[in-house]
A and B are shown apart, each in its own frame.
Chain A
Amino acid sequence: MNFRYRDLFLTYLKIGLFTFGGGYAMIPLMKRELVDNRKWITEDDILDIFAVSETTPGPVAINSATFIGYKLKGFWGAFTATFGIVLPSFVIIVLISLIFDAFMSNRIVQYAFWGIRAGVLALIFNAFIMMFKKCPRHWLAYTIAAAAFILVAFLHINAIIVIIGSALLGLSTLFFTIEEKKK
């Protein structure tokens, strides 16, 4: 395969620049660029890569870039793809951040953000609904979810400690068979 780092970098720069929200929003563009245009991977590869990226820590967008980059060209391929997908975000946010406070001192902008905050609450609530659908259908899973909510919302326990604790509780599923109710 005639392969150049520059192409890999530019492809991921494009994916980083033209997807909003990251994660699954990236799939259509990744398919067009990596599968249809470059023919570097197949469509099945993408699904496999997302299955892996979902079960490893960290942002799905970064995980998939590192994974595909490595598969294509080893360590420096992974580095190039990851750098490419991070760069547009980084530059755009640095620029926005420079003018943010001046921007926020405008009254109309303050009105806008008053409305936006309620919209953000809806976005996060929607994320909760999505995640709840992915919660295993089992009493122990529901108990873990409820305990996680109470520990963080009311007792202000650090979320990282709760994640470590629930992972350890998950290990208990090794000792008894989990029979999940059909969805």
Chain B
Amino acid sequence: MIYLKLFWTFLKVGAFTFGGGYAMIPLIQSEVLAQGWVTEERLIDFIAISESTPGPFAVNISTFIGMDIGGFWGAVCATLGVVLPSFVILLLIAAFFTNFKDKKGIRALLWGIKAAISGLILAAVFSIGKTVLVEINVFPSVPFFASAAIFLLMLFLLYKKKHPILIVVLSAVLGIAFNLIYNLF
């Protein structure tokens, strides 16, 4: 039953995402790519759109994947799944233990998780980097260093604190320009 599976998958993603947004990507890769629901390339496109549309990234990406796999009700199940753990946990905290984060045990658990997250995101960079820079198969004739050049330029702009939407728009313009020019020759 695809709806139940979507709900359960995103319930897990919601329950184990710490730090929000991009910290979700390695979890989505583990849970969603492993099921063969979407290709990595399609997932990257979903990430781009989720980043450049309004609202929380987590909701956007879950709705997108749910919709892609199970249509409207798939989107409902995935979104419900990703929101539910937050909702329940925050209700409990707001109602009973506002001071939970000062508990020694909780802080120790979070210390370990905080340590792991950068490694997990680096793993996402590694696998997405492989797809984007090495295995780009849409236009095999386009040299990979063109992708690498866009990547480095955007990294520089992010370092200069430019907004993510500008990054998406500018990379789109460069992508079009590069391919049009390349196809002239």
Q: Using CB atoms and an 8 Å cutoff, list the residues of chain A in contact with chain B.
A: 16-23, 51-63, 66-67, 70-71, 75, 78-79, 82, 85-86, 88-90, 92-94, 96-97, 100, 104, 108, 110-128, 131-132, 134-136, 138, 140-142, 144-149, 152-153, 158-160, 162-174, 178
Most B CB within 10 A of own CB, among A116, A162, A165, A178 = A116
The listed residue with most B CB atoms (<10 A of its CB), out of A23, A111, A142, A168, is A111
Output the nearest chain A residue to B68 by Cβ-Cβ distance: A97
| Residue of B whose beta carbon sits closest to that of A66 | B90
Q: Given A52-B101, A58-B14, A145-B119, output 4 extra A-B contacts at Cβ < 8 Å.
A: A20-B53, A89-B56, A116-B48, A121-B151
Q: Is the CB of B112 within 8 A of A171?
A: yes
A145 → chain B closest CB, angstroms: 4
Which one, A86, A118, A166, contacts B83 given CB within 8 A? Answer: A86
Residue B82 at the chain A interface, CB threshold 8 Å: yes
A/B interface sample: 21 pairs, CB < 8 A: A58-B58, A59-B83, A60-B19, A89-B60, A93-B63, A97-B68, A111-B179, A115-B172, A122-B152, A122-B154, A122-B167, A124-B22, A124-B121, A128-B118, A145-B119, A149-B126, A159-B29, A166-B112, A166-B115, A172-B108, A174-B108
Q: What are the residues of chain B within 8 A of A141 when measuring CB–CB?
A: 111, 114-115
Contact B49 A96 (CB under 8 A): yes
- B: number of interface residues (CB 8 Å): 113
Considering only residues 1-34 of chain B, those with a C-beta below 8 Å from chain A are: 12, 14-27, 29-31, 34
* CB-CB nearest in chain B for A23: B20
In the assembled complex, the CB of B88 is this many whole angstroms from the nearest CB of chain A, namely: 9
In whole angstroms, what is the CA distance A82 to B175 when docked?
A: 37
Given contacts A78-B87, A82-B83, A131-B117, A122 and B122 within 8 Å (CB-CB): no
For residue A61, give the distance in angstroms from its CB to the closest CB of chain B.
4
* Bound: A70/B20 CA distance, A: 20
When distances are taken between beta carbons in the complex, the residues of chain A under 8 Å from B72 are: 94
Complex contact B56–A85 (CB within 8 A): yes
The docked-state distance in angstroms from the alpha carbon of A170 to that of B86 is: 22
Q: Chain B 46-80, CB within 8 Å of chain A: the 1/0 string?
A: 01111111111111100110011000100100010
A-B interface contact total, Cβ < 8 Å: 399
Residues of chain B whose beta carbon lies under 8 Å from any beta carbon of chain A: 12, 14-27, 29-31, 34, 41, 44-45, 47-60, 63-64, 67-68, 72, 75, 79, 82-83, 85-87, 89-91, 93-95, 98, 101, 104-106, 108-129, 131-133, 136, 138-139, 142, 147-148, 150-152, 154-155, 157-159, 163-165, 167-168, 170-176, 178-180
Q: Establish whether residues A62 and B172, one from each chain, have CB atoms under 8 Å apart when the complex forms.
A: no
Contact call B14/A89, Cβ cutoff below 8 A: no
Min CB gap B140→A, angstroms:
11
